[in-house]
Amino acid sequence: MSLMLREILEQPQALRATFKAERAHALEFMKFARKQYFRLVVLVARGTSDNAAQFARYLTEITTGIPASLAAPSVHTLYQAKLDYRQALVVGISQSGEGTDVNMVLESAKRRGGYTVGITNEKNSSMAKLVDEVFLVHAGRQRSVAATKTYTGQLMIIYLLAAALGTSISMEQVGEIPDRVAETLKLIPDLRQLVERYRYMNHCVVVGRGINYGNAFEFSLKLMETCYVIAERFSAADFVHGPIALIEHDFPAFVFMPPGKTFASLRELTARLRKLHAEVVAFTGPKTDIPAATRIIRVPCEMPEIFSPIPYIVPGQIFAGLLAEIKGLDPDKPRSLKIVTQTV
């Protein structure tokens, strides 16, 4: 078994450890945050962590009412712009805590009035030392180059921060997520059979919307880095305004569509894709009706859409890890990659 798949299997335990270790910290941060009146949340990250930041933008705005944005590190590192971060919460997300440009943004924001928070798996990292406050992912050492347990751990911390900043979700609801992930791991035998169908896939599109938009980016990244599949990712709205022209007979399209606010529009999209003779694979709930889907990956737990991203990315991680093996590739040794990426 690859290191990637072993770390996927470790996720329920890692998520429970992260929640248990950081829950009290989040409650303390809640008291602090409600005295600060943050007017903006700025998120800074790269790679897989940037996909976590995409999720954080949606979750923050939906559950707290605070505007959130993604930082462009080159604004700081190349153009040396002087931004006003007063009353801004600036959140850096990095598995290793050693991303050079991410840390440069945090340093700049701290100098210019921002309150900086780091989310990392490494307590002794450069990020952990420079921010005002650090929230630790307790996933244990990441050995696989392709991040899985650290990605979902980052999402867990982001839920805790959202619960601290707003009132729409509770710590108790967040604490139910690890059990849902444990149920999702039961899909492995079915996914092992399904990936055989995609042994020769070399291109596809991945579509998500709303709270699962970040997962579309994350699943496509996993397909690219472990399976060398050209996986373009889109929001549903962007996809139909041009890229849908890519679709031809048997073109694979993966769609994240849990029950909830985004489901109806994505169901319409799957019907349109099927009329174009696409191969449509839907990640969805246990009881949904999607007649246009070619294949359906049913996440076994029913849950509010707001809590779907962590359980829904897990079958995507498994799919990518198993597909790499079917293709005769080693998902632990993707070419040209290493765990720590440093960019200036």
**DSSP result, 201-264:** --EEEEEE-GGGHHHHHHHHHHHHHHH--EEEEEEHHHHHTTGGGG--TT-EEEEE--SSTTHH
pLDDT at 344: 53
Q: Is the CATH number 3.40.50.10490 carried by domain 182-326?
A: yes
Rounded mean pLDDT of 314-327?
Answer: 97
| CA distances from residue 229 to 11, 232, 293, 331 in whole angstroms, order as listed | 25, 9, 21, 12
pLDDT digits (tens, 9 = 90+) for 125-154: 999 999 999 999 999 999 998 999 999 999
pLDDT digits (tens, 9 = 90+) for 189-229: 999 999 999 999 999 999 999 999 999 999 999 999 999 99
- Residue carrying structure tokens 């990315």: 313
pLDDT digits (tens, 9 = 90+) for 15-25: 999 999 999 99
* Percent of the chain residues topping a pLDDT of 70: 97
| CA distances from residue 304 to 61, 237, 259, 298, 314 in whole angstroms, order as listed | 17, 22, 8, 15, 17
Is the pLDDT confidence value at 239 over 80?
yes
The second-level CATH assignment, the architecture, of 3-175 is 3-Layer(aba) Sandwich (3.40)
Domain boundaries, the chain: 3-175, 182-326
pTM above 0.85, yes or no: yes
**CB within 8 A of 54, min separation 6: which ones?**
70, 213, 214, 217
Q: Where are the alpha helices (DSSP H) in the chain?
A: 3-9, 11-36, 47-64, 73-77, 100-111, 126-130, 149-165, 171-174, 177-184, 188-195, 213-227, 236-240, 263-275, 309-326
Is the pLDDT confidence value at 339 over 80?
no
* pLDDT band at residue 1 using 50, 70 and 90 as cut-offs: confident
pLDDT at 205: 97
Tokens of 192: 């092992």
**CB within 8 A of 221, min separation 6: which ones?**
47, 48, 51, 231
* Percent of the chain residues topping a pLDDT of 90: 93
pLDDT at 340: 58
The answer to whether the 3-175 and 182-326 domains have the same CATH topology is yes
Is the pLDDT confidence value at 246 over 60?
yes
pLDDT digits (tens, 9 = 90+) for 307-319: 999 999 999 999 9
